[in-house]
Structure 1
Amino acid sequence: MGGFPLPLLALVLAAWPAWPAGGDPDTPAHVDGAPPAKIAVVGAGIGGSATAHFLRQHFGPEVQVDVFEKGEVGGRLATMTVNHNDYESGGSIIHSLNLHMQEFVKQLGLKYRRNVAGKTAIFNGKDVILEETDWYLLDLFRLWWRYGISFIRLQMWVEEIMEKFMRIYKYQAHGYAFSSVEELLDSLGGSGFINMTRRPLSDSLLELGVSQRFIDEVIAPVMRINYGQNVSIPAFVGAVSLAGAQNNLWAVEGGNKLVCSGLLKMANANLLQAHVSSISPVSSGEALQYQLNYTTTEGNGSEVYDIVVLATPLQASVEPGLHFQGFSPPFDQPPGHYHSTIATIVHGYLNTSFFGFPDPRLFPFASVLTTDAPSLFFNSVASVCPVNISAGFRRKQPQEAGVYKVFSPQLLEKPQLKTLFRSYYSVQVTEWQAYPHYGSNQRLPPVELQPNLYYLNGIEWAGSAMEMSSVAAKNIALLAYHRWNRQTDMLDQRDLMHRIKTEL
């Protein structure tokens, strides 16, 4: 969640039954070629709001688009107020290659937040074992001296994966869509990407020739801050995380959640502050529609839709009380669970002595990542900047009271807070079901649950990040459009790079 960042899995779950196809997905919900009258999107995070935007683009101005959100617009993009300033408490960084997010910011007239430089260190519970300096060449020399060419091998590996992943933008610009996460990944990186979702990151890196020491001291801390998990997470998730650990990162002035509210407004979507309690199929002649029952502060309601997109995790730990009724065969709960991460925002004085710097004036770091040491109770601590940065803003020095964000697997108790901080004025806590708990024994959930009933968040099991959700949103909007209009030639096509070059 450092960047939510951005982020699979194997076939051991043979015992878990496949989600029912519920009929031929090519069967349209309409018989006369008319566009859908009403579309529902459940969830107004980045995935849901981007889906509403893309659905409006493809289906046109006449379709009614209703977006249901039980909490705040933005979902896991959220801010928290400390001492009259707002700070990101959820997804905080965006990669420069995230083209959908860049386009959203441009279309909405939002601004990039001014970057405030700060150095990073890695702490093993006793010592700072790696630190950034003001000299780039010195940093490179230290990396080479300690780890050999491991960091070069890693960089080449991440860049190769990113280069292949970037193909999705060409495919989507030409209107191609995929009916499953596996089909999407296969179109980008073939069986290599699929295999990366089924084997641990550590295995892939060791095979590359990356040293165990580099994995323990550099890769593990990055996984801990981004996903709160260790290097046994699948290699594809790890690559997404490592791409989000590079320097070319940005954020939105005023808060990343502004993208979500802006997209809903641009989509002319009807936002309903409501909890969807159940979904059930409704047959009307030859058409298959879906009835959504929901609860608002005023009471209960019900509405029927031609197309429904679920843009919220369906695991019970995240979305309790959402029931699928009347489906034959019945739906089962999707496998796995979401990982709980605690984000604690503290306004106070960092205890730099804990990191080996008795004099706070000599502590040069804005953020400290940690290795997977048993004694450490936190994943990272960082001095954070507000979402609105004025021209004269400067980062607080360690001897001054500053605002810090601490990621930890458990709620920080008072003795732990007193270990990390000499004193503090305020402590605010958010517990996030932030991203999937990754393992090698889960398979990727389906995108199509039934005809015209789609599930966006399955892509998170391949990698969880704002851009992954945006890619999934565009894919589902295209998929829904092509299914509705029976344009099967735009779905799950092979050798798309050659096809696109031929089109050009």
Structure 2
Amino acid sequence: MARAARLLLAALAALLAAAAAAAEGGDAPPGRIAVVGAGIGGSAVAHFLQQHFGPRVQIDVYEKGVVGGRLATISVNKQHYESGTASFHSLSLHMQDFLKLLGLRPRRDVVGRSAIFGGEHLVLEETDWYLLNLFRLWWHYGISFLRLQMWVEEVMEKFMRIYKYQAHGFAFSGVEELLQSLGEAAFLNMTQRSVAEALLQVGVTQRFIDDVVSAVLRASDGQSAAMPAFAGAMSLAGAQGSLWAVEGGNKLVCSGLLKLSKAHVIHATVTSVALHSTEGRALYQVRHESDAGPGSDFYDIVVLAAPLPPDDSSGRFAFEGFAPPVEDVRGSFQPTVVSLVHGYLNSSYFGFPDPKLFPFASILTTDFPGFFCTLDNVCPVNVSASFRRKQPQEAAVWRVQSPAPLLRAQLKTLFRSYYSVQTAEWQAHPVYGSRRGFPRFALHDQLFYLNALEWAASSAEVMAVAAKNVALLAYNRWYQDLDKVDQKDLMHKVKTEL
């Protein structure tokens, strides 16, 4: 009875707040906002929502696991290592802004050489000399690497328009509208054709695609050059230029943003979102379950900031009371297993019988039927000035990325011996093509799906872009500033009017 009375009082308070906002002509800010998921998308949208609506709005962030989502670490011998997203690209402008805002520092880079393994031998080896690396690329693949770089730069130049749009407060209610505004028909067409098709058209050779492009995509997305060209271009951009990570762990960005937004983190599994009609605005009831039992709260705005795969572990998430029904936003995700292995590398598997002569800190693999995607000699999240990589004949911590958990025989293939193996399994990236079309950001009046953009491309920065878009979308719709939503020919407007 006591719980029922509390729920009734909460509903009454929310209804009174909605009525007050309607009476004031809609000028009052929302009273309560719910965000489902505390990964980079959820923490970033909590920050942006607080930034736009002001400090008085109450933001509850529901997280069934740990804060950080796919930004996570694992401890090995009292040192922490990245088990999720390992690094960010220099063009990740939102992530760079978060770093400065939170007073965090980029981690000291420890340089290491890379190679690509084709199943039987290394098909490409990096050296310590930049010009020699360029010569090897030209000798093996002609100017394919230059054509690839030009293609990626053209895509990124158009995608970077999103930061200017967002700086002026523009938002999009759907992924197609966003892509159309950035790249017109070109970006939408790129979601319908493969990376391989797009690159062959601009003169990149099939051999370069098989040897290099496939290895990069396999490392970043666990998929092949058959993936959509737009998603592939974004992943290939992440492999070029300088990369950086956060000193102390990338997940510090998430916890820092939640603290900055003064969000209330609720450790619970959200089981449903139900619509409760009012004369003024919509009101949403979020039902959840935690160790304390089932619960329920009412909100003016709800943001879903976590992927909803068909095999969602709760198995009970539902939208209730919506007419017409909310669109199905579920889709299949690519599982990725990250294994942190403390041991001695079996360098002879890669053609180096003497481990002292093995010069590489990172091994990528091509699309041969292999059991692992990447192998990296990783540094801890805290890199001191005196830190050095372990020599190849020494026991080191290696990060192995694979599509499935490594079997004992597979571990024995990669390592002469090992002390420990710790794993993390992620629903890391959408399986592109497993659903038709893109989900929309706006599922209802003030109900939003942040991860919709992940179905066009997937990365931490893409989630931050989606978070900013959803926060602006919620703000513009709340105050009925619809001139800032789904505007066409935005590039022309930004150039001539603003």
TM-score when scaled to structure 1? Answer: 0.92
Q: Indicate the SS of the match to 1:284.
A: coil
Corresponding residue to 1:366 among 361, 364, 388: 361
Of residues 31-40 and 356-365 in structure 1, the stretch that sits farther from structure 2 once superposed is: 31-40
Q: Indicate the SS of the match to 1:287.
A: coil
1:50–1:280 Cα change, 3 Å:
same
Amino acid at match of 2:497: E
What is the Cα deviation at residue 432 of structure 1?
0.8
What is the Cα deviation at residue 441 of structure 1?
5.9
Output one character per residue of 1:258-307: Cα deviation in whole Å (capped at 9) or x when no partner.
00000001111111111111110012333211001111221221111011
Q: Indicate the SS of the match to 1:279.
A: strand
What residue in structure 1 maps to residue 412 of structure 2? 418
Amino acid at match of 1:218: V
Amino acid at match of 2:412: K
1:347 lines up with 2:342 in the alignment: yes
Q: Indicate the SS of the match to 1:254.
A: coil
**Runs (5+) with no aligned partner, structure 1:** 1-28
What residue in structure 2 maps to residue 496 of structure 1? 490
Aligned partners of 2:192 and 2:311: how far apart in 1?
24
1:265–1:499 Cα change, 3 Å:
same
Matches within 5 A, 1:258-407: 258-318=252-312, 320=314, 321-331=316-326, 333-374=328-369, 376-407=370-401
Corresponding residue to 2:428 among 428, 431, 434: 434
What is the Cα deviation at residue 244 of structure 1?
0.9
Matches within 5 A, 1:20-419: 30=22, 32-33=25-26, 34-318=28-312, 320=314, 321-331=316-326, 333-374=328-369, 376-419=370-413
Are the aligned partners of 2:308 and 2:330 in contact in 1 as well (CA < 8 Å)? no
Are the aligned partners of 2:332 and 2:434 in contact in 1 as well (CA < 8 Å)? no
Aligned partners of 1:280 and 1:128: how far apart in 2?
55
What is the Cα deviation at residue 30 of structure 1?
4.3
Aligned partners of 2:241 and 2:121: how far apart in 1?
24
1:338–1:129 Cα change, 3 Å:
same
Amino acid at match of 2:394: E
Aligned partners of 1:215 and 1:439: how far apart in 2?
20
What is the Cα deviation at residue 327 of structure 1?
1.9
Are the aligned partners of 1:234 and 1:440 in contact in 2 as well (CA < 8 Å)? no
Aligned partners of 2:63 and 2:227: how far apart in 1?
30
What residue in structure 2 maps to residue 469 of structure 1? 463
Aligned partners of 1:272 and 1:217: how far apart in 2?
46
Corresponding residue to 2:478 among 465, 471, 484: 484
Aligned partners of 2:132 and 2:55: how far apart in 1?
56
Aligned partners of 1:305 and 1:175: how far apart in 2?
24
What is the Cα deviation at residue 462 of structure 1?
0.6
**Runs (5+) with no aligned partner, structure 2:** 1-20
Aligned partners of 2:436 and 2:146: how far apart in 1?
31
Amino acid at match of 2:478: W
What residue in structure 2 maps to residue 445 of structure 1? 439
Amino acid at match of 1:345: L
Output one character per residue of 1:96-154: Cα deviation in whole Å (capped at 9) or x when no partner.
01110000000000000000000000011111110100111111111011101100000
Amino acid at match of 1:68: Y
Are the aligned partners of 1:317 and 1:338 in contact in 2 as well (CA < 8 Å)? no
Are the aligned partners of 1:312 and 1:319 in contact in 2 as well (CA < 8 Å)? no
Amino acid at match of 1:400: E
Are the aligned partners of 1:314 and 1:333 in contact in 2 as well (CA < 8 Å)? no
Amino acid at match of 2:433: G
Output one character per residue of 1:319-368: Cα deviation in whole Å (capped at 9) or x when no partner.
53211122223346435301111111100000000000000110000000
Aligned partners of 2:65 and 2:337: how far apart in 1?
19
Output one character per residue of 1:202-234: Cα deviation in whole Å (capped at 9) or x when no partner.
100111110000000000011111111111000
Identity over aligned pairs, percent? 62
What is the Cα deviation at residue 316 of structure 1?
2.8
Name whichever structure is richer in helix by fraction.
2
Amino acid at match of 2:118: N
Aligned partners of 1:334 and 1:479: how far apart in 2?
18
Q: Indicate the SS of the match to 1:105.
A: helix
Aligned partners of 2:327 and 2:469: how far apart in 1?
24
Aligned partners of 1:135 and 1:398: how far apart in 2?
20
